[in-house]
Amino acid sequence: MTVVAIDGPAGAGKSTVARGAADALGFDYLDTGAMYRAVALAALERGIDLDDEAALGELASSLDVDVDGRSVRLHGRDVADRIREPDVTEAVSKVSAHPSVRAAMVAQQRVMGARKDVVIEGRDIGTTVFPDAEVKIFLTASLDERARRRCEDLGLPCDAITIASVKASIAERDQADSERASSPLRRPTDAHEVDTTDLTTQQVIDSIVRAVRQRG
């Protein structure tokens, strides 16, 4: 089994690149961020206080979250689109910061990643989930470029005011992810860092595929 761990901040292009690399390599693809979003969605739907770690940890441990490629199901319900909506996006940083939530999700991620060759993307894959991954990639990009991409992904107008608002939101998410006590966002010391600011998606995918094949 080969694990390709792709980490990086919001808007660095992890999901698109990871899917493309998985397709090119014939590997499975696992979006761990979608799992945390599913927990956040369940918490919102059940009216759970986002600061109540005990309740959120219990919730995360009890959820049936199935992430398979582009499909995300919560207790059998397709939530792939719903988890990308603004209320979930706003809640996910707070939910995912709780150690009990992360422990529950990491346990599930390790089971999913042990099935076969897989490309896994998130924020703590190479440092916490699979620290012994055969290939580790850390994607980054300028804050301006990440804000522009997020605007496009959300179908928002890419004018100066909107980009400034999205930029502020991403910067806040970066700070929350980097400063959380449990599994903070860090570049693994043995990861290959790729600045995607001026690269096409295909160029980034090709560089990852080369790295995997060079490892045999």
pLDDT along the chain (216 residues), means of 10: 92 92 94 94 97 96 88 94 92 92 93 88 92 95 92 84 91 86 87 94 96 86
- pLDDT for position 63: 95
CB 109 within 8 A of CB 131: no
User: Where do the structural domains in the chain lie, given as residue ranges?
Assistant: 1-27+118-216, 31-115
| CA 57/CA 55 separation, integer angstroms | 5
| CA 63/CA 24 separation, integer angstroms | 31
- pLDDT for position 8: 93
| CA 114/CA 125 separation, integer angstroms | 13
- pLDDT for position 36: 95
Q: Which fold has domain 31-115?
A: Rossmann fold (3.40.50)
- pLDDT for position 34: 92
* CA proximity to 188, closest of 115, 135, 114: 135
Is the pTM for the entire model greater than 0.75?
yes
- pLDDT for position 132: 94
**Taking the C-alpha atoms of 90, 146, 113 and 52 in order, what is their torsion angle to the nearest 10 degrees?**
-20
User: Looking at this protein, which amino acid is placed at residue 79?
Assistant: V
| CA 124/CA 110 separation, integer angstroms | 12
Beta bridge pairs of residue 77: 74
Tell me whether domains 1-27+118-216 and 31-115 share a fold.
Answer: yes
Angle at which helix 99-113 crosses helix 86-96, to 10 degrees, equals: 100
| CA 130/CA 11 separation, integer angstroms | 22
The 71-74 sheet, strands edge to edge: 65-68, 71-74, 77-78
- pLDDT for position 118: 94
| CA 201/CA 212 separation, integer angstroms | 17
- pLDDT for position 114: 82
- pLDDT for position 190: 93
| CA 115/CA 27 separation, integer angstroms | 11
* CA proximity to 28, closest of 115, 98, 139, 135: 115
- pLDDT for position 184: 86
Q: Which fold has domain 1-27+118-216?
A: Rossmann fold (3.40.50)
